[in-house]
A = this chain, B = another copy of it.
Amino acid sequence: MKIFLRNACAVLLFLAVAGCASTTPEAPRADPLPSWNGGESRTRIVDFVAEVTREGGANYVAPAERIAVFDNDGTLWTEQPLYFQALFAFDRVKAMAPDHPEWSNQEPYASILRGDLKSALAGGDKALVELLMTSHAGMTSTDFDDIVTDWIASARHPATDRHYNEMIYQPMLELLDYLRANGFKTFIVSGGGIEFMRPWAPEAYGIPPEQIVGSSVKTKYEVIDGVPTIMRLPEVNFIDDKEGKPVGIQHHIGQRPIMAVGNSDGDFQMLEWTTAGDGARLGVIIHHNDADREWAYDRGSHIGGLERGLDEAGQRGWLLVNMKNDWNRIYPE
């Protein structure tokens, strides 16, 4: 009886699968990139994905090597009027100020506490690094995770009043999903702090913590009062920007990506390294030219400057995404 049933089942299953596959009209496939208008940008992305996933094709790439890397600030979320991580650092200074009365006479803290961001930034990189060390070190990695998690849930952007993790780009979310649906593994490779991104980026982008690469402070493992901890030290470990990006990629990912997406000259070397590999490669630069819906900036911008990338994208075959024309929507609902 059981054997009979099994055979009957096999026949039924065969009929169901074989018959239905050939006679059911194809359901119209949902557009995987609804926020991307038709045009060259969309076409080149779709063609690239088709090319590297077509088995037997000259440029076929096995799934294990379908590595796509994305800058974060200005590529996956907004970076104006200032890197969101800098705004986070300012908020940290304000929160920590009651324990630091000396800050009222000490730059850049005094300017931050007065709300004078221009003066706060006047000290240049040195002041910024000191600010980051003060606000991002001296606690355990677990405590820092909690601080970032609280901040992202409560802080709001000065211009849009949105939570910062609501200022991620809808077209990029669709692109990430589309790539993953086609067997790609997606990574973030950002100048931003690796531990600043990990508390919220996995949920925002569907990218797990181990696929997030960024700048970091040195850390130290120690058992404090019987509790194992990882302490964040006020010392730079790695700057994942410019020439640092290929280094960060090799260190964390261990193979050369086939696709890289950025928006500023800080991403130039990442695109250069990626597209110098053999076979089909895609380098993409998101060009911020939409002052109405987001921001418009490139040459000479205080954040996300784009000059060499603009000059050389054409000759290098990199796709320059025109935010204004290519995207019919910026942020998620």
Contact = CB atoms under 8 A, between A and B. Distances in A.
Contact of A228 (B25, B64, B228, B272): B272
Interface string A112-152: 00000000000000000000000000000100000000000
B210 A254 contact: yes
Nearest to A211: B210
Contacts of A254: 194-195, 198, 209-210, 212
Given A2-B25, A13-B13, A210-B254, 15 more contacts: A5-B19, A9-B20, A12-B15, A12-B20, A16-B17, A210-B211, A210-B252, A210-B253, A216-B251, A219-B247, A221-B243, A221-B273, A227-B276, A228-B273, A230-B246
17 contacts: A5-B19, A5-B20, A5-B24, A6-B20, A9-B20, A9-B24, A10-B20, A16-B17, A141-B250, A194-B251, A209-B254, A210-B210, A210-B252, A216-B251, A230-B247, A230-B250, A252-B252
A255 interface: yes
A220 interface: yes
A230 B212 CA distance: 20
A58 interface: no
Q: Which 6 A-B pairs have the closest CB atoms?
A: A209-B254, A9-B20, A12-B16, A13-B16, A221-B246, A221-B243
Contacts of A212: 254
* Range of interface residues on A (Cβ < 8 Å): 35 or more
B9 A219 contact: no
Interface of A: 2, 5-6, 8-10, 12-13, 15-17, 19-20, 23-25, 64, 141, 185, 187, 194-195, 198, 202, 208-212, 216, 219-223, 227-228, 230, 243-247, 250-255, 269, 272-273, 276
